[in-house]
Structure 1
């Protein structure tokens, strides 16, 4: 009986779940934006082929978000787009209070002081009404790349 109890405890201990890595990243990434519907956090790094924006988005409002797209545009001195790309959030459906990662690769470097325009687009459902189709929403904001 003692061996069975010991094996059961070992088995259950092996199934222990740690914190969600996306939730940890949401708190640890250097830049943040929060709106009524979503919270985003991200970091920017340069590669030989251009800047990469790695981030996390969290659904803070709706029963679920679907087909989330995160667009990032590097702006020039006049505020015009110098480079623009999109990252798609997986999983396709993001329930309330859940987070998921995204990555957007730009074709140009984004040195400190550069301005980025983020636009996130999704379909949402507030839950409870199966007759209402999902609604589309988009939001934009700008951010300055901090010193690295």
Structure 2
């Protein structure tokens, strides 16, 4: 590889777009782990505005990554309105908070949100989502967040609880 064909070291994708990118390359080509030496992805509206599949070196799925993020309206019928985009936009809010507080979003490895929810020792293999992400990590990681800022729960975010967040 010559000096002009080097890969970028890191790309962080914040809820990468779903419409027009899937199925694979329908209109445009979606982000993949081949786009940089390390690609970390934060999925917050998978299947809505965001991609519903793992395509990064590391894929983070806060609150399962699908459906409605805590604190966002369950029903927002006006397309592209603030309420309608709430879950999609949560990804950049999480990332911004991780810059200020790198230990705000520890995440646990799991093959599904259901398995994450049943995990009895989520600290094993955890990595931080966002700015402080370990670039040697690989796979899917899950965590929970608060409904409003500050979103990061620290180590408490490694545990699933059916109780409503105190920050609602």
| TM-score, normalising length: structure 1 | 0.29
Q: TM-score, normalization: structure 2?
A: 0.26
Q: Would you tell me which structure has more strand in proportion to its own residues?
A: 1
More helix by share: 2
Query: Between Structure 1 and Structure 2, whose CA radius of gyration is higher?
Result: 1
